[in-house]
Amino acid sequence: MITKLKFDPVDAWQPYSPSVNQPWTIRLAAHLLRRAGFGGTQAQLIQAEQTGFAATIERLFDVNSAQAYNQEMEISGRLVTTSADAKSLAAWWLLRMAKTPCPLQEKMTLFWHGHFATGAEKVNDSRAMLRQNALLREHCLSPFQPMVTALSRDVAMLIYLDSTENRKTRPNENYARELMELFCLGPGNYSETDIKEIARCFTGWEVRRNQFVFNRHQHDPGQKSFLGVHGNFDGDQAIDAILQQPAAARFIAKKLIRFFVFDDEPISDELAEPIAVELRESAFDIALAMKRILSSKIFFSDLSVGKKIKSPVELAIGALRFFDVSVNLQQLGDRLQRLGQLPLYPPNVKGWDGGRSWINASTILARANLFHEIFNNSSNTYAAGSLADWVASQPSDPQYAANWINDFLLAEPLSTAAATELQQQFRRSPALAISCLAAVPQFQLN
Amino acid sequence: MNTRRNFIKQTLAGSALISLSGAVPQYWLGASRAALLHSDEKILVVVQLSGGNDGLNTIIPHGFDEYYQNRFTLAVNQQNVLKINDQIGFHPALDDFKRLQDDGQLTIVQGVGYANPNRSHFESMDLWHTAHRTQAVRQLGWLGRTVEQAWNDSDLPALHFGEGLQPLALRTDQKPIPSVRSLQEFKLHVLANDKASTLLEPLLKSPPNPKNQLLSYLHDSSQIARATSHRLEGIAPVADDRFGYPDSNLGRNLNVIAKLIESGLSTRIYYVTLDGFDTHSNQGPAHQGLLSDLGSSLGAFMKQLSDQNNHQRVAVLSFSEFGRRVRENASAGTDHGAAAPVFLLSGTVSQQIVGDHPDLQDLDEGDLKFKIDYRQVYADVLQNWLQVDSTAVLGNRFEPLGLFA
Amino acid sequence: MFQFQNRHGFDSVIFGCGLVLSIALTSSCPFVAAKQAELPSASPEAFAAEFFPATTSVYLCVGQATQLIEKIEQHPLVAAIGELPQFKKLITSPQFVMATLATALVEAQTNESILNSLKSSLALGLAIGIDPETEGLAIILRSNDEAKLKRLVGTILKVVASGAEQEGRPVPFKKGTYRELVTAEFGDTVIARYQNWFIVSNKRALAKKIGDNLIDGSKNSLATQTWFKAVVQAQSTADVWVAVDLASVREKGLAPDLFRGRTNNPGAELVLGGLLDAFKHAPWLSGQLNFDRQLDLALELPFNPQWADSARQFFYGANLQGTAPQPLLPQRLVANLVSYRDVADWWLSKEDLFEENVIAQLAQADSQLSTIFSGMDFGEDVLGALQPGIQIVVTEKAFADKYVPDIRLPAFALVGKLKESDQIRRKMKIAFQSLIGFANITLGMEGQPQLDLETENIGDAKISAAQYVYDDKTEAGLLLFNFSPTMAFQGPYMILSSDRELAIELAKLVGELRPGDVVKPTTADRPSEPAAVNTHLDFDSLVLSRILKYNRDGMVSQNMLEKGHGRKEAEAEVDLIFGIVDLIQNGQLDFQVNPTDMKLAVQLRFVNHPLKSSR
């Protein structure tokens, strides 16, 4: 049922509309909810299928639905950072991902965290990490420029990229370089001179006692020339000039496509262009670009379905949500770190590479072992009561029950015989069935 | 990618024969050969001494008065030094090193360092790890570069053993090198349940959709992982008494590495660390404990390798980010210094000692001057041991030292 | 600990215990003393000891079961737990409803309430024994009505059998007889009835031995063993009574770490050291638990001064005379621990106490600590300056309105007595100043408030208190608000505290101490008790509860992360903890080393039922 068309760049981003040839199915709903969040429960997926595609997209983007929840979590985030290190804050974020009523918001926040990667180890101030996390969440589905402007003043970012002492006589190029290479333009779209000049714009942007301060004595007010513009620019104006570059929208479009659509397929300028245009014409409104991507033909085609590997966070949070199980999140954080992805602890300023880099001989076994550990731990609690109760509470309607593992859980199906055998095992010993499922290559796909 | 998949397919046929003879489920052996190492491929084990090892109290210049003048409380009494010649000798805790050297299995490379020494732990360690002096933000490790240049197709070219952060030396650009805390992580835990393998076998046999390249990649990785795991089965995570390993993390890790080497794992580089060498005060007993752990762990390791007859294909390189100042401080300790000895252990080494002991009179702001650039040691290990183009890895040509026989 | 042959066997034991309990719950009738005359006479705590084989090494019994049940039934704690909303929620959970349903069925059959059944049927006691010889565990229960017991066992077996048939499984047990015993075997697990006695064991061999002893009597049973007689003699009756044959447990090589006499863990050595000597040599261990207006737990081990390891003088003191220092009891006390320990001696004895790897680690630590203490040798000079005896005081800290931390911690203090005060006082003060200076550099680099150190004289006390300097830019709710690190000297005493006010209060209390006072055991019940204890702990649960409640939000957040709960579930769990803590008023622990024994006693007092003041 998944369309096998090859797309030309323009057609790729045309809206998908359910039709007889391409009906809106549980499998497509599961694909959408996995990518736009951390997967849905069976009830949520059935609801998505029954209320239809358009209504599902609307619900995904309804950020207001999380308002009350977000307020609660802000309070506990503050308390967590009072006493504990950023590892606990990472656990707090994992909890938030597992329980949020608006998964797209957390998924986007995670995306931007990887994009503007900042490591808690170096920042060494969990309050600053918490503030940055709130900032990313606040801007995650809004215009891009205000987010960059805010991040340029963010304490954690300034510490992480050594711009805490960016003085007139000795401008630190680190932030200016990453601003263009990693945050806004991508390599090849600026010169070393541009870096030097833009670094001057940010001189005097300092951190003092955990606060951002503009130190006018250290700011270089002189004339700067970069990217074809000249003037007595400051940092905000530099950001403005950078985002005026045609490469900027294309760069962001490519990053979004890579994160949400597929791992391996090359992304040509042509393919990215329609999304880039969307961004340019909407003052970089990320929500619009995301709606376009998540509603596109290519997103629901075989170029995308089953063409991403689950990140460790997607793997674990997906299971917590699907089976509605509560676990010790600090321990889960430790496990995820060994699997290669603990939020707030990116490997370096590039963030997580994703895709095939998640997988090696050690992690492929550890991923399965994580599930074995979670589902054999008797101190974990299930909303349904127990794992057996969870199995018993699943829909019995044969339309959904007959092939539920393939439909609800797998982006690339198992053979019918294998799936049936596994479903039977779920009735006999669900913990064993899940542990085995987690060892299957198909399960690693998102 | 494609070639490797074909290779796996070919070996599948071969391993099916093996599996007929045992009760091992076939899928375990899926790629067993793919992860095997040829016996002529050499292995490097790096033992990093973190914190800055006091070279002068490791290889002791007992023939020089300056040593006794500068180390007024810390000096090791001449009669206790395990003398190599009338100038230098080992610290008494390193009796295993002495024995290995007498057996032709240990070389001391004296006075290793680099120009304009940096006395920050982090920056100096970064230099040792990257072998580059650059301002770049994202640096790769010298071993990470080695792996990516030479064995990019290998599934497990290098392994870091230990609890802590992965050393920068192993940082790669693309495929990360795994850090292993324990052998436990190399097992599929669900198989402890008898029913699991009957359930898993058909699931894993389920042929992957050939149009999905990612799925094929996952399928291959999972086969190799399970084949490796199968080979590691039965390796006990406790140190082996037979060889006299001390009850320490280093001892346990080296013992596991020896077992992995014996299992024929395709891994070419193993990395372990021993921390605690930052001895600013009351250095004596603490340093002695560390050296004793180092000596007896490596002594046992070499014994076990000989026992396996693998000692000729494994080399151990042990280094620290810097040595310590010549003159001891007021708290019976030593502060961050510069040049220090590096140790190389293997079945057959070319010489007992390489280079001269640094001059104790000609100091650079109170520190020993280096005689041998650390990258010369690397060049030798890369070129003459691992058979890798050292210029490509190090970005420059460094003259090898001829450490290997 | 105890290696049973297979898992199946262990499951059976659990099943067996469940069965016994259900029988205990339901076999009921008025008290009948008909069989009493036939029973061998024995002390209440040894009521079934003559039926267990001589090789039995662990024995637990509840002799006065009826009284115990009555106490539990009437206890305010039980009533209070029943009143907890969380408990009410629990008893509406599906699992609980199922269990209630099952009991209701049995209650309907027996026509009596569970509690009444329990009271009358357990009147003659319950005993559990572990026998290493057969690797078996057995439970013996004595009911008062043979006919009812018989009917009940039959009913339960019938229910099990029909349940299995319905599910298409074979009947899981085999009925039979052994001499005059009626038996049913579940694999290796056996249940058996002889007259009004009921036996469950996971090992057929053990069940047989017990059966033989029941029928024939035995001249060589647990009850005739010398060690067991010694335990019976040493301990008076208790609600729950335990005896362990340490000699045989040691011989079997079980839990070797406990009996080696050494721990390679410096912290454990400091706390427990001497106990390990007792475990290495003592022939037995006895325990008793009494439950009344308070909960009393007492453990006792025989002891002989010759067993004391010479490297453990830090623990015992010379001639085992080590006495805990006098406890200081400031306002809003949460806990006070006083103990005889010579920390310098402990630190310096490391070569004799630990293995090489730990000695090396301690040597490293020694080297680092000596740096902090400006080159003084940590063991010889720093710890060595203190007289034996340590005291740790924990109190609730008072906060001004401004600068209240999000998470409120209690104030802590360490109190020690200096051997020679003038010289060392100055050196300690300098070390303290250096630490504060060092902390200020770190705090400054991190942009945190810094410490202002001031020394003042209050009465005879010299107080050096470091207080954080706050201003308008100080973030709200900082954890730092909990601390004002303080060092105080009063006479020969040195006080190291996390809080200035506590240090001042303690300095005042130290000044009021009268020389020669020692801690008297509050649990002494015999005139032969010595005049002092080795270790003593007091704690006040009401103050602890108050501190916990200040931190409810933080605990809720922590619970969310640890359990993965949503806020509501986390709040419910935290409030349950508060509910339980609130039921306890205070408690204490005493540890004594005597020439003939070691005693550990714990008391917990419940709210509204305080023990009459013992001091």
If you average pLDDT over residues A217-234, what whole number do you get?
Answer: 94
Chain B positions touching A346 (Cβ under 8 A) are none
Q: Name the pLDDT band for C245 (thresholds 50, 70, 90).
A: very high
Mean pLDDT of chain C: 80
* Long-range residue pairs from A417-421, CB within 8 A, at least 24 positions apart, any chain: A417/B202, A418/B202, A418/B203, A418/B206, A421/B199, A421/B202, A421/B203
Q: Name the pLDDT band for C430 (thresholds 50, 70, 90).
A: confident
Backbone angles phi, psi at B263, to 5 degrees: -70, -10
**Nearest-angstrom CA–CA distance, B357 and A237:** 59
pLDDT tens digits, one per residue of B108-159: 999 999 998 888 777 788 899 999 865 554 578 999 999 989 988 777 788 8
- Is the pLDDT assigned to residue C116 strictly greater than 80? no
**Nearest-angstrom CA–CA distance, A91 and A74:** 14
**Contact yes or no for B306/B34 (Cβ under 8 A):** no
C: neighbours with 3+ CB pairs under 8 Å? A, B
**Contact yes or no for C300/C234 (Cβ under 8 A):** yes
Residue A231 has a pLDDT of 94
Are B188 and A338 inside 8 Å of each other by CB?
Answer: no
The predicted model scores a pTM of 0.72
A237-251, C92-106, C315-329, range with greatest mean pLDDT:
A237-251
**Contact yes or no for A430/A437 (Cβ under 8 A):** no
Chain B positions touching A372 (Cβ under 8 A) are 188-190
Are A83 and C407 inside 8 Å of each other by CB?
Answer: yes
Residues linked to residue A206 through DSSP beta bridges, in sequence order: A213
* Beta pairing class for C411-417 and C451-458: unpaired
**Nearest-angstrom CA–CA distance, C182 and C198:** 10
Please, which residues have CB within 8 angstroms of residue C154's CB and are 6 or more apart in sequence?
none
- Tell me whether C7 touches chain B (CB under 8 Å): no
Please, which residues have CB within 8 angstroms of residue C321's CB and are 6 or more apart in sequence?
none
Residue C365 has a pLDDT of 87
- Tell me whether A335 touches chain B (CB under 8 Å): no
- Tell me whether C216 touches chain B (CB under 8 Å): no
**Nearest-angstrom CA–CA distance, B292 and B82:** 13
Are A439 and B190 inside 8 Å of each other by CB?
Answer: yes
Distance (Å) of CA C101 to CA A386, C39, C94, C161: 20, 37, 10, 19
Residue C516 has a pLDDT of 62
* Beta pairing class for C189-194 and C197-201: antiparallel
Are B282 and C355 inside 8 Å of each other by CB?
Answer: no
In this structure, what token pair is assigned to residue C475?
A: 């973030």
* Beta pairing class for B158-161 and B179-180: parallel
Which H/E stretch holds residue C85? helix C85-90
Are C356 and B292 inside 8 Å of each other by CB?
Answer: yes
* Beta pairing class for B269-275 and C136-142: unpaired
- ipTM computed for the complex: 0.92
Residues 401-420 of C with CB under 8 A from A: 405-407
- How many residues would you count in chain B? 405
- Is the pLDDT assigned to residue B24 strictly greater than 50? no
pLDDT tens digits, one per residue of A72-84: 899 889 888 887 7
Q: Write the burial class of residue C425 (CB in 10 Å: 0-12 exposed, 13-18 middle, 19+ buried).
A: middle
Are A442 and B181 inside 8 Å of each other by CB?
Answer: no
**Nearest-angstrom CA–CA distance, A88 and A330:** 6
Are B203 and A414 inside 8 Å of each other by CB?
Answer: yes
pLDDT tens digits, one per residue of C124-136: 678 899 998 888 9
- Tell me whether A353 touches chain B (CB under 8 Å): yes
Are A421 and B199 inside 8 Å of each other by CB?
Answer: yes
- Is the pLDDT assigned to residue C152 strictly greater than 50? yes
Q: Name the pLDDT band for C519 (thresholds 50, 70, 90).
A: low
B176 or C536: which carries more pLDDT confidence? C536
Q: Which of B247, B280, B290 sits opposite C371 (nearest CB)?
A: B280
User: Helices C567-581 and C552-563: crossing angle, nearest 10°?
Assistant: 120
Backbone angles phi, psi at C488, to 5 degrees: -130, 150
Amino acid, single-letter form, for residue C568:
K
Helix (H, G, I), strand (E, B) or coil at B306: helix
A: neighbours with 3+ CB pairs under 8 Å? B, C
Are C370 and B331 inside 8 Å of each other by CB?
Answer: yes
Residue C4 has a pLDDT of 33
Chain A positions touching C558 (Cβ under 8 A) are 80
Q: Which of C357, C359, C366 sits opposite B248 (nearest CB)?
A: C357
The residue of chain B with its CA nearest to that of A410 is: B215
Chain B positions touching C357 (Cβ under 8 A) are 246-248, 289, 293
B185 or C212: which carries more pLDDT confidence? C212
Are C360 and B290 inside 8 Å of each other by CB?
Answer: yes
pLDDT tens digits, one per residue of B289-332: 999 999 999 999 999 999 999 999 999 999 999 999 999 987 78
Are A359 and B218 inside 8 Å of each other by CB?
Answer: yes
**Contact yes or no for B66/B361 (Cβ under 8 A):** yes
- Tell me whether A18 touches chain B (CB under 8 Å): no
Are B246 and C364 inside 8 Å of each other by CB?
Answer: no
Are B333 and C363 inside 8 Å of each other by CB?
Answer: no
B: neighbours with 3+ CB pairs under 8 Å? A, C
Please, which residues have CB within 8 angstroms of residue C204's CB and are 6 or more apart in sequence?
C185, C188, C190
Maximum C-alpha span of chain B? 75
* Beta pairing class for A325-326 and C535-540: unpaired
C537 or A363: which carries more pLDDT confidence? C537
**Contact yes or no for B362/B378 (Cβ under 8 A):** no
Q: What is the DSSP string of A265-303?
A: S---HHHHHHHHHHHHHTTSBHHHHHHHHHTBTTTTBTT
Chain C positions touching B330 (Cβ under 8 A) are 375
R_g (Cα) of chain B, nearest Å: 23
| Closest by CA position to A348, among listed A91, A114, A129, A151 | A114
Chain C positions touching B246 (Cβ under 8 A) are 356-357
In this structure, what token pair is assigned to residue C397?
A: 């800290």
**Nearest-angstrom CA–CA distance, C150 and C184:** 13
| Closest by CA position to A279, among listed A290, A269, A295, A270 | A290
Task: For the beta carbon of residue A371, count every other beta carbon within 10 angstroms.
Answer: 22
pLDDT tens digits, one per residue of C595-611: 899 999 999 888 865 43
**Contact yes or no for B281/C376 (Cβ under 8 A):** no
**Contact yes or no for C391/C327 (Cβ under 8 A):** yes
Residue C422 has a pLDDT of 78
Backbone angles phi, psi at B327, to 5 degrees: -90, 130
- The dihedral through the CA atoms of C99, C105, C106, C112 has a sign that is positive
Mean pLDDT of chain A: 92
Chain position carrying tokens 């034991």: C13
